[in-house]
Amino acid sequence: MGNGIPGRLSAPALARRVLGALLAVLGLIGACLANPDLDRITQIALERYGVDAGESVGLWRALVEENRDLAEREKLELVNTFFNHRVDFEQDAVVWGVRDYWATPLETLGRGQGDCEDFSIAKYVTLGLLGVPLERLRITYVRAETGLPGSGIVQAHMVLAYYPAPGMEPLILDNLVGQLHPASRRPDLKPVFGFNSQGLWVAGKKASADPTARLSRWRDLLRRMNEEGLN
C-alpha cells in the first residue's frame, strides 16, 4: 500500500501555490468526466508505460465500468482501497524530476507512484466517473501530525473528504490509512481548507477564491487528461 508524507512545506505556502488554479481545473474536470474514452486510456497506458501499467489501467477501467450501481459508501471504499494498493507514495522530484507536478490518473497508474495530491486527484476523478456527485467531494489540505501525540510535529498533507449531505461530518479517504474514518476519528489531521469544482471552504464556510492564478499549469493538466481520453 502506498504511504508517506510530502516534504516539509507549510499549508499556507501550499495554498498560495495551487488553490486558485486548482479550483479552475476542477470545474473543467467535472465537465470532462461525462464522456471518457476508456479504450484510448487503456491503449495509451500500454504504449507509454508497458504491460504492468496496462494491467493497472485495465483494472481501473473495470472498476469504473462495473461498479456504477453500488451504494456510494461502497464506491468510496472500493476507490480508496484500489489506489492505496496499486500506487506507491513517492515525491514528485523522484517520479517526475520536478518539484511540483500534478499527475493525471493515467500517469499515476502508469508510473505506479504519486504523492498525496496525485492520490486525491485520482480518487476525485474516479468517484466522479462512478457517478458520485462532485459537490459531495472536497480535496482537502490538512496539517498531519506525524510524531507522537502532542509532539507538535506536523507536515502538510492532502486527503479527499466525502460529505454525505451538507453540514454532515465527512469521511476521509487517505493514502496513509487503509480504512475510511469519519473526521472525528482522525484527530491527527487538522483541516486548513477544502475545495471542489463548486468552490472553496475555510473553517467550514464557503469562501471566494481567484481561479485564474497559475492557470497555465492546470490548463496543461486538463490538456493531458483530454489527450488521454477524459474528453
Query: How confident is the model over 87-133, as pLDDT tens digits?
Result: 999 999 999 999 888 899 999 999 999 999 999 999 999 999 999 99
- Four-point Cα dihedral 160, 166, 169, 170, nearest 10: -10
**Quick one: average pLDDT of 215-222?**
64
8 Å CB contact between 190 and 154 = yes
Round to the nearest angstrom and report the end-to-end CA distance of the chain. Answer: 30
Q: Residue 208: which pLDDT band, with cuts at 50, 70 and 90? A: low
Query: Among the CATH numbers 3.40.50.1100, 3.90.226.10, 3.10.620.30, 3.40.50.300, which is that of 11-228?
Result: 3.10.620.30
Residue 175 has pLDDT above 90, yes or no: yes
pTM of the model: 0.81
Q: Which residue has the higher pLDDT, 228 or 114?
A: 114
Q: Which residue has better confidence, 208 or 226?
A: 226
Q: Which three cell numbers stand for residue 222?
A: 486538463
